[in-house]
Structure 1
Amino acid sequence: MANPVDLVEVWRGDLIESVHQGHAVICDAKGQITAAWGDPAALIYPRSSCKMVQALPLLESGAGRDLTDAQLALACASHDAAAIHVDGVGAWLRDMGLTDDDLRCGPQMPRDPDIRRALIKADQPICQVHNNCSGKHAGFLAFSRHLRAGPEYDQIDHPVQQACKAAFEEVTGETSPIFGSDGCSAPNHACTMHGLARAMAFFAAADDHSGVRAQAAERLVDAMTTFPELVAGENRACTNLMRAMGGKVAVKTGAEGVFVAIIPALRLGVAVKITDGATRASECAIAAILVRLGVLDAAHPAAKARMMPDQTNRRGIVTGVIKPAPALLAAF
């Protein structure tokens, strides 16, 4: 990945022990870059950070007309499989007359400790509804049902995925040159850092536009910010940061060090990619950018926990800190 820059430092005492490099782009409503670190043309997989883009056709088609905001938040979620997530997706499937077997995301051990312990204690199987992407897949099923298409909605040539690809290319403003199979088996299309930030800026400025797509984008952002606990889970960065910003900004993580932000008040979209894939670094970088943009209070516990978290040893002694690199802050 060409020309990444230092974005996050890990200090032990008075010595930098590790450095995370990457790329970050802030884009305005016109698609223009207002700030950048590293290479805006770097090609990446956005992974789960683009779930709101994948949910656009669900609403544009009319398939999601009667869905609740909670269901739309789940469609954009990388959830913990806590009870609120599993129950929500399970009810959604039942409403459609479908079962866990209709999902194509694969089973996953729940991240939520209570659900995980309960499954182990009862010797119950891990199901696909426990997959962190099961809400997105419920949305795919709703869209596929609306289209009366086949059951293999995760395949690249399926009408659902063709619609998702078209929406992705249109909001990023790019023709995606390649795709890969995501952890949940759905296609994930590559774009540049600029393209991903441009897509987030489109969501941020959706209410400046008319039309079905703009209305869909605005509703998805509203759903995410109204139900941040459904988008991720308790003590997760996405949930805690959205709460810390009073529901005025939508943020979404993705695997392998990706993080995005949608800031309607500023009409800005943000995209971050850490080249070594470290989540601790992507969380630090996105928090630092949100603080510098004035939408996140640096003193808020959710910001401090991501932007400047203390590093402790097994005795609870503070040994160092993770913090933004000078270059990340100097660009403003």
Structure 2
Amino acid sequence: MYSSSLADAPPIREPRHTPVAHLIRGGVVEGVHYGSVVVLGPDGEVRHRIGDIEAAFYPRSALKPVQAVAMVRAGLPLDGELLSLTAASHSGEERHLAGTRRILEAAGLTEDHLRNVPDLPFDPVVRDTWVREGRPPSRLAQNCSGKHAAMLYTCVLNGWSLDDYLDPGHPLQQAVAEIVEDLTGQRIAQVTVDGCGAPLFSLSLHGLARATARLTTAAPGTPEARVADAMRAHAEMASGSGRDVAVMMRAVPGLLTKDGFEGVQAAALPDGRAVAVKIADGAGRARVPVAAAALARAGVDPSVLTEFAGEPLLGGGVPVGEVRPVRALAPLTEPACA
């Protein structure tokens, strides 16, 4: 049964996205990225919004920290780098594969028990090496394998069935759905299947920001704080070497951030300030600078965010432009401390 304190599910409609970034080439706007952005203050109130922050959307892997919280609440005993890997969209580096094997071994299981889709490593350099070595796609290399291994471990600990652990009606996925609603504060609008095969829950961008803030403001030792602490301390396990979200967590003290396919990113600071971004066309080249601009709008010192302004647009190998967030995302006042 739904809690009476939960808000209604967000409406399923075509999101009313607006321009959030311009592609500038030679001083001319060559392209426009549409999307939506929400900025929450320490009190949880909306301090700034662009586009449609209340329509139902799929947060994709940006919801993995919440899924990890659900597993910890269900008894998952992992901490540190393995808990970070539980919430990961990893690059397929050897440390990610080794960590996933460790989770499976702790559960008394093997790679054969995984039900995520076989894939090549996410990181282009790692993937190229993998291909040169003639290695086929594998479930272990797929970027969600840490989450899936942790799901299986959680099932073993609770005596739940393994073969159908991805079924939305499975006790594990019911427990995840309950925590998604608890932390977002709203009912789930729709359930479908994510790229890895796991259930994917539709909520609002506002709800995603709220849930991320719940992790960073939780009391020490709680499942929420354990997940946030693990991801911040082991950012490369939650992503990969040189990945923008890992670099951003190292650059901004106390920041927790997680990206997701189709241009999604959520981030929160220890005082509860939080942002969430959705780029309508799914472009990563817009996601990073827009997320950085949203954090600056939330009060993070822009000087620590300069490296996230986006990669330059090249013409003949020479920088001729950039992806630039719209003026509506410019900081209002002098930056607060990060």
Which of 153, 161, 184 is the aligned partner of 1:172?
184
Q: How many angstroms apart in 1 are the aligned matches of 2:149 and 2:15?
A: 37
Contact 2:120 2:130 in 1 (8 A): no
Q: How many angstroms apart in 1 are the aligned matches of 2:25 and 2:43?
A: 42
Deviation at 1:296, TM superposition (A): 5.0
Q: Quick one: structure 1 residues 197 and 84, their matched pair in 2 at CA, closer, same or farther if it must change by over 3 Å? A: same
Q: How many angstroms apart in 1 are the aligned matches of 2:166 and 2:301?
A: 37
Q: In structure 2, what is the equivalent of residue 82 of structure 1?
A: 93
Deviation at 1:197, TM superposition (A): 1.4
Q: How many angstroms apart in 2 are the aligned matches of 1:143 and 1:197?
A: 26
Between Structure 1 and Structure 2, the one with more helix by share is: 1
Larger CA deviation: 154-163 vs 315-324? 315-324
Q: In structure 2, what is the equivalent of residue 285 of structure 1?
A: 290
Listed as ranges, the gaps of 5+ residues in structure 2 are: 1-13, 334-338
Q: In structure 2, what is the equivalent of residue 250 of structure 1?
A: 256
Which of 235, 242, 246 is the aligned partner of 1:235?
242
Which of 199, 208, 212 is the aligned partner of 1:187?
199
Q: Deviations over 1:8-54 (max 9, x none)?
A: 11100010001111111122455421221112212110110010111
Q: Quick one: structure 1 residues 320 and 217, their matched pair in 2 at CA, closer, same or farther if it must change by over 3 Å? A: same
Identity of aligned residues (%): 34
Q: In structure 2, what is the equivalent of residue 23 of structure 1?
A: 36
Contact 2:236 2:246 in 1 (8 A): yes
Which of 26, 37, 50 is the aligned partner of 1:37?
50
Number of residue pairs the alignment of both structures matches: 319
Equivalent positions of 1:1-332 (< 5 A) are 1-28=14-41, 30-62=43-75, 64-65=76-77, 67-113=78-124, 115-151=126-162, 152-207=164-219, 215-246=222-253, 248-264=254-270, 266-298=271-303, 300=304, 303-313=305-315, 315-329=316-330
Q: How many angstroms apart in 2 are the aligned matches of 1:241 and 1:139?
A: 25
Deviation at 1:294, TM superposition (A): 3.7
Across the aligned residues of Structure 1 and Structure 2, the Cα RMSD in angstroms comes to 1.9
Contact 1:107 1:131 in 2 (8 A): yes
Q: How many angstroms apart in 1 are the aligned matches of 2:88 and 2:22?
A: 29
* 1:286 partner amino acid: A
SS of aligned partner of 1:256? coil
Q: How many angstroms apart in 1 are the aligned matches of 2:319 and 2:23?
A: 13
* 1:254 partner amino acid: G
Q: Deviations over 1:170-190 (max 9, x none)?
A: 111111121120011111111
SS of aligned partner of 1:231? coil
Q: How many angstroms apart in 2 are the aligned matches of 1:88 and 1:2?
A: 38
* 2:229 partner amino acid: D
Deviation at 1:254, TM superposition (A): 0.6
TM (normalized to structure 2)? 0.89
SS of aligned partner of 1:190? strand
* 1:231 partner amino acid: A
Q: Deviations over 1:142-200 (max 9, x none)?
A: 11111111112111011110000010011111111211200111111111121111111
Q: In structure 1, what is the equivalent of residue 10 of structure 2?
A: none
TM (normalized to structure 1)? 0.90
Deviation at 1:118, TM superposition (A): 4.2
Q: How many angstroms apart in 2 are the aligned matches of 1:324 and 1:271?
A: 15
Listed as ranges, the gaps of 5+ residues in structure 1 are: none
Contact 1:250 1:262 in 2 (8 A): yes
Larger CA deviation: 174-183 vs 92-101? 92-101
Q: Deviations over 1:192-237 (max 9, x none)?
A: 1211111112112212xx8xxx711011110010001111112211
* 1:175 partner amino acid: R
Q: In structure 1, what is the equivalent of residue 3 of structure 2?
A: none
